[in-house]
Amino acid sequence: MSTSEFLIVLIAFCLALYFTVSFLLGVVKRRKVTWKDFKNWLRNIIDSLFGIG
């Protein structure tokens, strides 16, 4: 794995972690999760890891 590939994978995982933490903080603040919130979170994770969505 080259350095640039490693950096791209690292950035993708950092984005996925960021979206997960922000989703969970939203859940804790509001105490409820709507289907729209879950779909947005899932779309962001797929987009950051695979570049699609």
Number of folded domains in the chain?
Answer: 1
Domain of 19 in residue numbering reads as 3-50
**pLDDT tens figures, 1-53:** 788 889 888 888 888 888 888 888 887 787 777 788 888 888 888 887 777 64
Q: Give the model's pLDDT for residue 19.
A: 86
- Whether the full predicted model's pTM is greater than 0.85, yes or no, is no
Cα–Cα distances (Å) from 40 to 1, 5, 23, 45, in that order, read: 31, 27, 9, 9
Q: Per-residue b/e over 8-40, b at no fewer than 16 CB within 10 Å?
A: eeeebeeebeebeeebeeeeeeeeeeeeeeeee
Q: Give the model's pLDDT for residue 35.
A: 80
| DSSP 3-state percent helix, strand, coil across the chain (nearest 5) | 85, 0, 15
Distance CA 31, CA 12 (A): 28
